[in-house]
Amino acid sequence: MAQVQPTTVRLKVSPESARIVTPGAPRDLQLAAARGTLPLAGKDFLTVLFFLCRSSDVEIRTSAVKNLREAPVATLIEILKDDLLHPQLLDLLVRARMTDDELMRAVVMHPATTLNTLLYLAGKAPSDVLECLAGHQELLSQHPQLVEAIIANPSAEKDLKVKLGWREPDQADQEYSSQELCQEVGAEADADADDESPEQTEIESLMEEAERSGLSKYQIALELKVAEKIKMGLTGDKEWRTIMMKESNKLIQGAVMKNPRISDGEVLMVAKNKTSSDELIRMILLNKDWVKNYEIKKALIVHPKTPPPKALRFISYLTMKDIKELAKSRQVSNIVATAARKELEHRIKKTGG
């Protein structure tokens, strides 16, 4: 397990696989193999798909990727019982089926899995898979860089990171001012603009490849650099904004908030999310148009990261019904609850009720 990745890939193929993947092989034969209508078994199944997923023929490549993603987990696990699988085949499975935790458990335990593949998995896998990987203490002790990769993964749960030795930074170290964040996002965007053509071409190529290979935007996002993610946050559609808002990097999240197409509904979701950072809440508070929205105001009042003076300022805008609920709420600070009770008393006296 966790071998060193070879610098040169030499993948031996059986005669059965060779007749399908050899240059000049009949297209109909390759397409049938890509679609899974040929009776390929064991290692031959993965080997053929490994080559066909890289075909220059769009239909063959798309069909091969689809076949690989839809193959039954039980079938693939049976193939993984072969200890002599080539490391590149295991890497292919990780990149195509990373969310299948049962399959990933088998990959992690496979003796041919390379450290590079495990590092890729540790850095990008969902939380369930990370829990599995973190359970192999001997592996982590041999390769501490795996621990670093898991901790840096945005999908890693806080409890898991703490178990691995992570300590939450001091609040002072975490904070950015709104001005500093906007300046940094702007600086990143300006730097990208200086080299707009090559990078934009690269992103467009990724999108075209996604359409051809059936990749989701989430899967594309896993491969993007920080600068590219910032650009997608600043310019992307709602699906891209949703994906980028889940990133842990504050510059990326800040870029989403500066996207001119972001809706009040999306801002409301940020305001309602109790884990939203101080900076995101400050960015909302600084936007006069957003704080005019009643639901956003209400969400900001009860958000733990809203500064008390700001929260108190919004209480007078609440309806009588919401004031009563806020006055009884145990989900807000004593300062906010007390202010809500005083506002309620004031309105009752004013109306004579």
pLDDT in tens, 231-280: 889 988 888 898 899 888 889 999 999 999 999 999 999 999 988 999 99
31-43: average pLDDT: 86
- Helix, coil or strand: residue 3: strand
In this structure, are residues 84 and 112 in contact, taking their beta carbons and an 8 Å threshold? yes
pLDDT in tens, 183-234: 444 444 444 444 444 444 444 555 555 545 555 677 777 878 888 888 889 9
Residue 287 binned pLDDT confidence (cut-offs 50, 70, 90): very high
pLDDT in tens, 127-176: 888 888 888 888 888 888 888 888 888 888 888 888 888 776 554 444 44
In this structure, are residues 329 and 302 in contact, taking their beta carbons and an 8 Å threshold? yes
Residue 178 binned pLDDT confidence (cut-offs 50, 70, 90): very low
Token pair recorded at residue 317: 């805008």
pLDDT in tens, 327-338: 888 888 888 889
In this structure, are residues 232 and 224 in contact, taking their beta carbons and an 8 Å threshold? yes
Selection from 231, 279, 289 nearest residue 255 by Cα: 231
Q: Spell out the domain ranges in the chain.
A: 15-163, 174-262
Between residues 312 and 9, the one the model is more confident about: 312
